[in-house]
Structure 1
Amino acid sequence: MSAPPAKRPHIERLYTGTRSANKEMSVVKLLLCCLLLSSLALRANRQCIAQVDAGTMQGALICPVAPMPELWIAGKAVDVVKVIQQNLVYPLAAKRAQAEGRVFISFTVTATGAVENARIAKGFRPDCDAAALRAVRQLPRFKPVQQRGKPIASGLTVPVKFSLNVPRE
């Protein structure tokens, strides 16, 4: 039988105060965490709000979800990934090698809806990466994100799947 673990006096001293003192310390820690989170979020987003429920002492950081730019073709919204897949030309060398995988492309949709700064976020094969970039650069103009009534630039990252079994629509 092994001996019980040694006590840690430095830890016990932290919590040997009264229950009300420990509760007050917990409240202070929670408020400091919320303050830190809200200041970081405000610095990054300027739209997040820190809330603390006094009854349960639970904290939350509330950030509104940013809308995504929409792709409209012939008057209706369409899935960006489907349009990219339809424009994708599977490289012949990758077909011969029966190579299958995914490429992740990041790009910016400008305030005018144009696609800019398309780049490989995660590549698969150089020839497939180039084909995916070409397909993304062929996208028509997007309906840009609106913030306070004005169009703004926003970023997107989309997966482009290279599969020999994917039916073309």
Structure 2
Amino acid sequence: MEDTFLSLLCRTWMWDPNHWCKIKFKADGTGELICRVEFNLYVAAEFDWQPQPGSPALDRTINLAADQALLAEYNLELTLTKRRIPSLGSTSTEGALINESHLTDAAFVPKNYTVRLEKGRFPVSRNVSVWANWWYGLRIVFDKSPFPSIEEWKGDAVRTVEGNKFYDRVDFYDQELEVTERED
């Protein structure tokens, strides 16, 4: 099976090994954005996405065996919706104060992004200790965060957002690599 940008994009990309903040693209032009801290869930929303005119074809073959860090770069439009993800594992989101409870209407307008798909050895700290890193082989990097900007949050969530800086998170990872010895 050949890898394409679409097949590589359509997986769950996480920001942290705790799986608190992640983004998932689906081939049907929808996706999921999750933003939480420990037991506090702020966003569990679906989004709509599409390539912008002039971007390469989504079914263009990507050679994962190539010795290059940048595999592809695409311009995408993402529109966060108020549609909630029905459940996160065994936890239902029904009745939860998420999405529009914490976000202004400005968070739900279409936004344009440049997304780079990269391969390599990327360390992601879990903040358990100074040396505790998880390593990943694939990364997508947005030119700006897919999480709403600080101005698009409201209420009590603003303080948490300022402390965790979700709006600065532009890199997401997949393909955990096995680490046989301590890497710094």
TM-score, L = length of structure 2: 0.23
Bigger CA radius of gyration: 1
TM-score, L = length of structure 1: 0.25
Higher helix share: 1
